[in-house]
Amino acid sequence: MLAMITTLLTFYVSQNNIITLLIAIEILLLTVTVKIIYIGGIYNDIEGTIYALFIIILAGAESAIGLSLLVSYYRLRGKVTSIL
């Protein structure tokens, strides 16, 4: 719970830095994934692990797409800020 609150606080504080926002979203997804794996381990449930693997795959795809958009925006404008 503390990791989720810290991530959301980081997300709120760094609203003008897009890279920090993407990192905060990734940490939030990782926190949720670890909790799902932990709860699945407690109840000896394989579906929780499969769902967590799906979340990790989606987070990786989201990171790749977000970084490619940032790189192309930087090449176009010369700077990257969320205040357009």
For the chain, what are the domain ranges? 2-77
Four-way CATH pick for 2-77: 3.40.50.620, 2.40.50.140, 1.25.40.10, 1.10.287.3510: 1.10.287.3510
For residue 36, give the nearest of 25, 52, 47 by alpha carbon.
52
Tally of residues, the chain: 84
For the stretch 2-48, pLDDT in tens is 777 877 787 777 767 777 777 778 888 888 899 999 999 999 989 98
For the stretch 40-72, pLDDT in tens is 999 998 998 899 999 999 888 988 898 898 888
- The CA distance from 61 to 5, in Å, is 24
